[in-house]
Homo-oligomer: A and B are copies of this chain.
Amino acid sequence: MKPDFDTAFKEWARLLGPARARRDRETIDRYARSTLPKGTMPAGVLYPSTTEEVQAVVTIARQAGISLYPISRGKNWGYGDACAVTHGQVILDMSGMNHILEVNRELAYAVIEPGVTQKQLFDHLRDQDIPLWFDCTGSGPEASILGNTLERGFGHTPYGDHFYHSCGMEIVLGDGRVLRTGYGHYQEAKATHVFKWGIGPYLDGLFTQSSLGIVTGLGIWLMPKPDCFNMFFLSMPDDGDLPRMVDALRPLKLRGQVKSLVHIGNDLRIISSFQRYPWEESHGKTPLPEMLRKGLRAKGGFGAWNISGAIYGTKAEVRVARREIRKALRHLGRVRFVGPASLSLAQTVLGFLKSRGWAKPIQAKLGILIKVGGLLQGQPTDAFLYGTLWRIKGRTEPDSMDPLDNNAGLMWVSPIMPMTGEAAQDLVQQVSPIFLEYGFEPLITVSLITERAMVAVCTIAYDRDSPEETDRARQCYAELFQKIMRAGYAPYRASIASMAHLAEGSDVFWDVVHELKQVLDPGRIIARGRYDPHEARRPDKAETGG
């Protein structure tokens, strides 16, 4: 007979000890928190600390037919945080598996477990004096590197495509077997973390954006610290300037002259990164009146669209790259370069202003510049979580930047476009009116993430303390999502709120994804509904008492 939920939970508690198998109210409530309008309620939380424990947990889950939802650190802000796709799943929190298993200086890679945070790897490299950088995201020091890689997240440096720069996985399958990819499945393998494809079918892709297995280890490539580093910036005044910017940047990306990601943020996106919504000046009115928007833009010295990127190399290489960038963008305006000297000057000036309490707006701008500079050199920061506070009322600054602690509302829609000015303009024109219609500001960054593709990261920041605004945000998101799908700009990544809608207008692909579970997770117990629209569409099974 199939064990019931209570029996299974007792087995887990026996295996892990009661402190690592929780189903108390407080734990459940903490994991149910979300930046989305609606989180999901877990049935319990398990904290394995080894691959063997994960295998044993899976075996128990399979016997009882209970869904396990693996998370690394649960910092999937704006896409679902630590929440499962559906209610009643048991969260498999792998934050306790946080070993840096290897750092290879010569071949520039690291092997990490799911719980390793951005801060942890950064500190390790710094403390051991290892001249290698990893590419981090703006999601804060406590975010998991492995988790972001499996979600196929992007960072900022030339190693910004995280999945591409990963190599060699360890995966626990739904039947408890351990699959090693790359060459890792061969006993004497010497090239597991240096050659991505291995031999035979390349399987790693199956376990990204997926419910097909639990990844317990991953090789990631690190970037040799370059001799020299420069940021570059260029702003343009008009909303209609975006297409020209994209078309001018494309040859630089295609020819490999700029290897970092290039972001083109709109004024609102930048302003929201260091200040809150101007409740007073707007007399509480939303969305932001055009006059106020223009005023904030002028005061900050921003353009309607603002390019930022970076170049890396020897001094001579950076010098040549500067020349090429200047030449390619000359017709758009003046490119400003910021090197290490200017950055440290900014640091000094900022310290001075802070000590006197002078010039707060300049302080904010300098602070952002320094943090962007840090990110582009692989230094994690929570500065970019500030944007989650945009619509939060009240003037006091919170102690924590964790959006869940602040009940900050955040949703992201992230459509992929071919890297043409025409596509950028088309997309912005399609999404902007929807934001305004629902009373939100279109916070948009168009990021050139590969040589040929770009993503428009569209942020809905809302006040989760207001049920009315929360409901508007939910509707706004739904309409944005439908719009980009119908326009042919599917996203690169989805929120738990859209998993059920991914198969609309699609043929065969999602059927195959669903069928692959038969082999890799025959009991269908792993991450139910995650990137599996057929499963996500089903009504929640009331499988637990939780």
Contact across chains for B489 and A190 when beta carbons are under 8 A apart:
yes
- Residue in B187, B202, B417 whose beta carbon sits within 8 Å of that of A205 in the complex: B202
Contact across chains for B206 and A201 when beta carbons are under 8 A apart:
yes
Chain A, range 144-159, C-beta contacts under 8 Å to B: 152, 158
- Residue in B183, B255, B320, B453 whose beta carbon sits within 8 Å of that of A194 in the complex: B453
Kindly list chain B residues whose C-beta atoms are within 8 Å of the C-beta of A179: 508-509, 512
Which of A46-54, A378-386, A513-521 is found at the contact surface with chain B?
Answer: A513-521
Kindly list chain B residues whose C-beta atoms are within 8 Å of the C-beta of A506: 185-187
User: Is A493 part of the binding interface, using a Cβ–Cβ cutoff of 8 Å?
Assistant: yes
Count chain B CB atoms within 10 A of each CB in A109, A179, A254, A505 and give the residue with the most: A254
Contact across chains for A419 and B199 when beta carbons are under 8 A apart:
no
User: Is A492 part of the binding interface, using a Cβ–Cβ cutoff of 8 Å?
Assistant: yes
Contact across chains for B451 and A488 when beta carbons are under 8 A apart:
no
User: Is A224 part of the binding interface, using a Cβ–Cβ cutoff of 8 Å?
Assistant: yes
User: Is A19 part of the binding interface, using a Cβ–Cβ cutoff of 8 Å?
Assistant: no
Which of A93-101, A112-120, A208-216 is found at the contact surface with chain B?
Answer: A208-216
Q: How far is the CB of A209 from chain B (nearest CB, A)?
A: 5
Q: How far is the CB of A255 from chain B (nearest CB, A)?
A: 5
Assembly stoichiometry (copies)? 2
Closest residue of B by beta carbon distance from A210: B201
Q: How far is the CB of A207 from chain B (nearest CB, A)?
A: 7
Given contacts A190-B489, A254-B224, A256-B259, contact A107 B201 (CB under 8 A): no
Kindly list chain B residues whose C-beta atoms are within 8 Å of the C-beta of A254: 108, 224
Count the A residues whose beta carbon is within 8 Å of the partner chain — how many? 93
User: Is A440 part of the binding interface, using a Cβ–Cβ cutoff of 8 Å?
Assistant: no
Contact across chains for B186 and A505 when beta carbons are under 8 A apart:
yes
Interface code A200-231, partner B: CB below 8 Å = 1, 0 otherwise? 11111111111010000000010010100000
Contact across chains for A202 and B191 when beta carbons are under 8 A apart:
no
Contact across chains for B199 and A226 when beta carbons are under 8 A apart:
no
Contact across chains for B493 and A199 when beta carbons are under 8 A apart:
yes
Closest residue of B by beta carbon distance from A197: B152
A302 to B528 Cα, complex, angstroms: 61
**19 other contacts beyond A186-B488, A201-B209, with CB at 8 A cut-off?**
A106-B250, A108-B452, A177-B511, A179-B508, A181-B509, A185-B507, A191-B453, A191-B488, A194-B416, A194-B419, A195-B450, A199-B494, A201-B513, A203-B205, A205-B205, A224-B251, A224-B255, A317-B324, A516-B519
